[in-house]
Structure 1
Amino acid sequence: MTDAPLSPTSTLHGSPTPSGNKSADGADMAEKGHVSPYDGEGTEASPLIVKYLENDKTNPQNWSPRTKWLITANAGVSTLCIAFGSSVYSGGLRDLVAYFKEDTVVITLGLSIYVLGFALGPLLWAPFSEQWGRRPVFICTYFLFALFALPCALAKNIETLLICRFLAGFFGSSPLTNSGGVIADLFSAQDRALAMSLFALAPFAGPVLGPIVGGFVGENVSWRWLFWILMIFAFVMWILGCMTPETYAPVLLRKRAAQLTKETGMVHRSMYDLHPMFSAPFAVKMKAALLRPFVLLFKEVIVLLFAIYAAFIYGVLYGFFGAFAIVYQQERGWSPGIGGLAFIPIGIGMVGAVLTNVYDNKRYVKKLIANGGSLPPEARLPLCCVGGAVLPVSLFWFAWATLPQVHWSCSLVASAFFGFGMVACFLSMMNYHIDAYLILAASALAANAVLRSLFGFAFPLFVRDMFEGMGTQWALTLFAFVALLLAPVPFLFYRYGAYIRRNSSFAPGHKPAAPAPAPAKAGEALERPLTREEEEAADVQQLDLAQVESRREERERERRDGTLNEEKAAEAEKRGE
């Protein structure tokens, strides 16, 4: 790819212009009609290419740490609220059965169908955010999420409740994908590990918090208050989200380019809009967003096996909503409120996994520097291997600690290890997908999320019948055996992942590691942040990967239509296109 002709953004690849360092003040000069700080001639044929300048205060990554962490906290809590809404419903199951006079499975659909919305919504909200930005998509979808809690609270029949629960999950799912993008907008690669770890905790902390709150609410007041509390929580987060600025660079630079074109009369274009991934028609991007996750799911063994693994773990978590009610309320006689507290150890285990991931990332960064700044994606998997080993052990432990003669604390300790193993696996999987698929990582993660949500939808529906038919211990033991069967998956890719990626049509090739640099001198910092030029070069490399991917797909389409010029295609392959 390095020998390929430069794209229309070739000015981004060149050495700095003689004008020297460009600062944020250069943008002010351009706005006042002075010499433009951007490369190009200002014509349609050679537009001025708008990009972030050095120390540019409009670049979200240059905002103050306080601002960035406030936005990160808002994104995380907004995501937690969505996940909280899925499980708080479980606190009122008994009252809902009595009020609507329906079977328990039908009432449980209110939990499952909400999670089904998680599988479908992100397929739309991710491309919408790339077209119009993170902020407008959040404002529109989150408002509808909060609003659909109202008919749930006022529902007079089960049909109203189920339809509105699905729509709430569908519209509320936007932060599940877009909040991760917000964090990527705000933090450089070196600073992103802690923020991503804390954010990744939110989708799992929400389901843990929901039964605790829902148990006490369902025990003391009407089940309708489950939805009033959710609506209040959601509207508070929506108001805070309305106060959050846009962070998506392509949208911000597009607006700056339009403003400068209007004020100066010279043609400006965002650096991103000159690449196929961003300049393609919206219908083309929507088609790719809807189809590519499924193409990766069924054509990429890495995506498929990890999606199955993640889906099973997520299904067990949602299955625990019914399982814990049986184990602690039905068999041990705990009240719904006290029974909800049994989820606290899972949350403690999750926090332990996040802290372990932060420590493991420091190990990864040191190894990355020692290897000249290049490591294979498989270097992300050791923590997943640990989590994969912990999961079946914790499930076997939990299964047989639920016997009546065994003290209740023993099973709660086992559930804490389950929480640790679950989040350790998810964090490591997420990083592995990003490193392995680069510009296609969003599609790979979307495939994972779709299958995961489908399992989260299905598990609560059969858990109660499964426990009644098999018995509590053997039903949980079956979960443990499946976890044991899937445990070799991260070990498989740790050992053979490089070979599998070499034979992949979608995973870009990874360069071998450069020779290790000389050891740092005493007192010299081991880590250093990337310079602006290095970060820009990395962005351009990813954009060029997208351009190559676009050309490859175009050739495949021409080949199917019989219009492909094989000689030109062969020359393009030689050039790395």
Structure 2
Amino acid sequence: MPAEFSPTSTLHGSPTGGNKLDLHPSPHETHDGLDAATAPVPYDGQGTEESPYIVKWLDGEEENPQNWSGTKKWLITANAAVSTLCIAFGSSIYAGGLGDFLVYFKTSVTIITLGLSLYVLGFALGPLLWAPFSEQWGRRPVFLVTYFLFAVFNIPCALAKNIETLLICRFLAGFFGSSPLTNSGGVISDMFSASERALGISIFALAPFAGPVLGPIIGGFLGQNASWRWLFWLLTIVRSRTSTFARNRVLTSPPQFAFVMWGLGFLSPETYAPVLLRKRAAKLSAETGKVYRSMYDLHPMFSAPFSEKMKAALLRPFVLLFKEMIILLFSIYAAFIYGILYLFFGAFTIIYQQERGWSPGVGGLPFISVGLGMVLAVVANVYDNKRYVRKLVAGGGVPLAPESRLPLCCIGGVVLPIGLFAFAWSTLPQVHWIASVIFAFPFGFGMVAVFLSMMSFLVDAYLLLAASALAANAVIRSLFGFAFPLFTHDMFEGMGTQWALTLIAFVALALAPIPFVFYVYGARIRQNSSFAPGHKPAAPAPAKTEEKADDQLERQTTRLSTRQEIEAEEVAMMDLRQAESVMRLAPTLVLLAFRKPTSQP
């Protein structure tokens, strides 16, 4: 009797113990001397237009990003983190030239500060395109295009002769450079399992904060020892001591230009499963003459006109933001914390340069304390992930509820306001400067601890919609980052340094219960969600310590069934999410947003 090939089968031998069967032949190779048209097909379907072969990942496939080697995964993660750090670094390095900008452009402090704020505003608007584009065409093409344009628009900033050129190009640089802020999180969720994802998210999530912390330090020293134009050349070029075309000739001037970010984009392979499976299906169709379709391409969104698909893609982050209480509240919380970070660029200038008389370079050094707090938060997240893995193993490998990611977020939410209160009143002139520097440390820890746990929670809760969920979060977060620097100077001048910082601490205290609420009630809230896939908890451990062979087989079958159900639910959720694009089926977006997923047979 011929073997039946199932795309979800994990068996590797015949049920009777005979010769082992290759149930997962590579779809790109011929088998047993047969050509591609007659080779065994490991997919469901008949290969016709009415019943195409449904292409999906088979067990153990090396082309599946989830099955790549650990070294490859971590190199890609490091690449994404470096790209994100460079983009974030570009936001705050601008602060190192504020004094020179005032002299050269002869305009007000508020107008000059717009160069910082508009760059961050680009972070808010860019993800509205880059996240859905990556879900439509893949991560890699978006990285290549946006990294190139990021480098291009930093050039006119370095050559600017008027403030209008500087401000416009700063916005465009931030707009095109914002793609890794959300899509790098999608890359990590493409490659890592739930037990590994937190470590990858830790590396990625630290970058958006490490960049702004390094910016004032490097920008301060560079601004006081070189032309302000070098702030932007640093974002665009690498100074090479050896020319590519004349390796033995030492260059002194001009420097050799290189689009470093663009090069990093080429090093990042495609990781998005729908795109990879679509390419495989197209290749198989061309090779065999049969009809292959990706499992994702069988959904309504992909047959809709391009204009309708893009309308849905652009609206999706807003639908998630305003219809998902989880995303809305966490976005507000994250946005406020992110706003404090950008408020500190102006606040540290007032505290250490104006009130204590430090130079711009030395005045940026207290950010080192903030950075050390961030590093400690990453270390804490690594240990917290071990707790998560222990629970995962105890549950038989069944993914845990997303709320299991939140304990560190709760700790960070408590530490953050405590650190802000202490920092506020240690900035008094009669208090030694070391006290305020020390109390900047808890802010760095609390900020990153909240973000790491929050991002892992959102990725686990929204799975294939992770990029859009993070884009929605980034929109609100970046709007706060845009606004806070604009009122920092006036607020500190009007209220005084200590009371301005105390007000910020009180708001942080008011927002601190948010992660506690979702830790306790998150599962109940997600039951009413139209976009978060349902979570199936692990079955309770059996009371007996010994099991019969039949019982063990039954438990293995149960776990396999659970994995299949989880996969089926993720695909079923695409019906709901992609139905947003078919606007003609619903009179209003509100009706679409309230649609509930139907149970699958």
**Could you say if the C-alpha distance between residues 351 and 330 of structure 1 is closer, same or farther in structure 2, counting changes exceeding 3 Å?**
same
Query: Separation in 2 of the partners of 1:27 and 1:538?
Result: 28
What residue is the counterpart of 1:36 in the other structure? Answer: 40
Partner SS state of residue 498, structure 2: helix
Which stretch of structure 1 is more off in the superposition, 469-478 or 485-494?
Answer: 485-494
1:49 is paired with a residue whose SS is strand
2:421 is the counterpart of 1:396: yes
Contact 1:315 1:455 in 2 (8 A): yes
Q: Shift of residue 469 of structure 1? A: 1.1
Kindly state the Cα deviation for residue 311 of structure 1 after the two structures are TM-superposed.
Answer: 0.7
Counterpart position of 2:28: 27
Structure 1: tracts of 5 or more residues without a match: 1-9, 522-527
Match of 2:437 in 1: 412
Does the CA-based 8 Å contact 2:403-2:522 persist in structure 1?
yes
Residue 379 of structure 1: aligned partner: 404
Do the aligned partners of 1:24 and 1:55 also contact (CA within 8 Å) in 2? no
1:288 aligns with 2:312: yes
Partner amino acid, structure 2, of 1:287: K
- Corresponding residue to 2:461 among 436, 453, 460: 436
Amino acid at match of 1:544: A
The 5 Å alignment of 1:83-482 reads 83-232=88-237, 235-276=259-300, 280-371=304-395, 373=398, 375-482=400-507
Larger deviation, residues 188-197 vs 370-379 = 370-379
- Please give the alpha-carbon distance, in whole angstroms, between the structure 2 residues aligned to 1:246 and 1:536: 25
CA contact (8 A) 2:370 2:441 kept: yes
Between Structure 1 and Structure 2, the one with more helix by share is 1
Judge which range, 293-302 or 340-349, deviates more.
293-302
Write out per-residue CA displacement over residues 308-352 of structure 1, whole angstroms, 9 at most, x where no aligned residue: 111110000000000011111111111111111111111111111
CA contact (8 A) 1:27 1:37 kept: no
Q: What is the deviation of 1:369?
A: 3.4
Range with bigger deviation, 131-140 or 53-62: 53-62
Aligned equivalents of 2:66 and 2:460: distance in 1? 21
Residues paired across the two proteins, number? 554
* Structure 2 residue 550 is the aligned partner of structure 1 residue 546: no
Q: After the TM superposition, which of the residue ranges 235-244 and 97-106 deviates more from structure 2?
A: 235-244
Does the CA-based 8 Å contact 2:191-2:271 persist in structure 1?
A: yes
2:374/2:447 contact within 8 Å kept: yes
- Which residue does 1:82 correspond to in 2? 87
CA separation of 1:239 and 1:364: change in aligned 2, threshold 3 A:
same
Structure 1 residues 432, 62: CA separation in 2 closer, same or farther (over 3 Å shift)?
closer
Coordinate RMSD, CA, aligned: 3.1
1:46 equivalent in structure 2: 51
Q: Which range moves more in the overlay, 33-42 or 12-21?
A: 12-21
Q: Distance in 1 between matches of 2:432 and 2:155?
A: 42
Alignment of 1:515-534 (within 5 A): 515-516=540-541
Are 1:499 and 2:499 matched, yes or no?
no
Following superposition, the deviation at residue 23 of structure 1 comes to 4.0
1:285-304 deviation line (CA, Å, top 9, x unaligned): 32223223223323333222
For residue 64 of structure 1, the aligned residue among 60, 69, 78 is 69
Contact conserved, 2:378 with 2:449, CA < 8 A, in 1? Answer: yes
Instruction: Supply the AA of the counterpart residue of 2:123.
Output: F
For 2:573, the aligned partner's letter is L
Q: Letter of the aligned partner of 1:547 in structure 2?
A: D
Please give the alpha-carbon distance, in whole angstroms, between the structure 2 residues aligned to 1:450 and 1:393. 27
TM-superposed deviation, 1:72: 1.6
Cα distance in 1, alignment partners of residues 520 and 64 from structure 2:
40
The 3 A distance-change label for structure 1 pair 419 and 23 is same
- Cα distance in 1 for partners of 2:448, 2:299 equals 36
How far is 1:513 from its partner?
4.4
SS at match of 1:290: helix
Cα distance change of structure 1 residues 14 and 288 upon mapping to structure 2, 3 Å threshold: farther
The 1-side partners of 2:460 and 2:269 are apart by 28
State how far apart, in whole Å, the 1-side matches of 2:121 and 2:402 are. Answer: 31
Deviation at 1:221, TM superposition (A): 0.5
Structure 1 residues 407 and 544: CA distance shift in structure 2, 3 A: same
Amino acid at match of 1:323: A
1:369 is aligned with what amino acid?
A: V
Measure, in 2, the Cα distance between the counterparts of 1:323 and 1:431.
30
Contact 1:22 1:54 in 2 (8 A): no
